[in-house]
Amino acid sequence: MSLNASPPAAVRTAHRVEAPNGEKAMNRAHVLVVDDEPDLLELVQYNLAAAGYDVTCVGSGEEALAAVGLAQPDLVILDVLLPGMDGLDVCKTLKGDAQMAGIPVVMLTARGEEADIVTGLEIGADDYLTKPFSPRELLARIKAVLRRRRTNAVPDAEMIVRGGLVMSPGEHDVRVYNQSIRLTLTEFRVLQLLAQRPGWVFTRYQIVDWARGTDISVTERSVDVHVAALRRKLGRFREMIETTRGIGYRFKAI
């Protein structure tokens, strides 16, 4: 694990640290960090606070849900291997709740096999980073996820209507034949990109650039996972997302 500078004293569970005075207001996002390793909490808290974020640290899944219910963070950094309720169940709970589903989740865990990453993305994680990690890379990923979240907040005038599909970016709302569909931030961005230009084929790399940012390394497999999740959630509308073999995906022209 690389370190930008020597961190301060050990972090206490559920301890919140505010960014130093003088940081730009745009950076004052609140990040909840969930991990049962005190040294890692100390490291992450120090680097996030130094970068201008307000940080809350907890050591279990149950504490994480309690913290979110008390004061919804702008982003959650979540370990998988936690005592009691594990990180996957925490992520499922967050993404399955209408009030919390829009909170981005970045998995930060030692479980780095492809199957683990795919599972994390399939249950709704917006990004996945494995240990050991670079604090600089973690900060870049957090910045990219929060930027995508802000970019999504565009006026309702840009509503997208494609047959039985209606997308309202300003409300982060998707309806298929008037039935509301819950999507993660990344899934929403992928669908938004495809639906904006029906018939146009987007490569996997173009989808990554739009949905996750050029400063993030994402495998083609993870794009396929998000598209598969989209199709599953869209039900009978799933056929509108077509695969162009060897290239990428497109939204069927109506």
- Which CATH number goes with the domain that contains 118? 3.40.50.2300
Same domain, 94 and 137: yes
| 175 and 67 within one domain | no
Whole-number Cα distances in Å, 228 to 56, 219, 220: 33, 15, 12
Q: What pLDDT does residue 254 have?
A: 67
pLDDT on residue 14: 52
- Number of independent structural domains in the chain: 2
Same domain, 147 and 160: no
Strand order from edge to edge, sheet including 179-181: 160-162, 165-168, 173-176, 179-181
**pTM of the prediction?**
0.62
Could you tell me the CA-to-CA distances from 18 to 46, 83, 214, 227, 254 in Å, in that order?
Answer: 11, 27, 29, 37, 50
**Residue 205 belongs to a domain:** yes
Show the domain range for 134.
15-152
Instruction: Indicate if 140 and 94 belong to the same structural domain.
Output: yes
- Domain match, 127 and 171 both: no
pLDDT at 27: 45
pLDDT string in tens for the chain (254-residue length): 444 444 444 344 455 556 555 444 444 899 999 999 999 999 999 999 999 999 999 999 999 999 998 988 999 999 999 999 999 999 999 988 877 888 999 999 998 888 888 888 888 888 889 998 999 999 998 988 888 776 555 444 478 999 889 998 877 889 998 888 988 888 888 999 999 889 999 888 788 777 765 445 556 677 888 899 899 999 889 999 999 988 899 999 86
Task: Please indicate, yes or no, if residue 5 is contained in any of the structural domains.
Answer: no
Helices vs strands, H then E, count in the chain: 8, 13
Q: What is the pLDDT of residue 31?
A: 96
Do 92 and 124 touch, CB atoms closer than 8 A?
A: yes
Nearest to 181 by CA among 127, 240, 222: 240
Quick one: 64 and 138 in the same domain?
yes
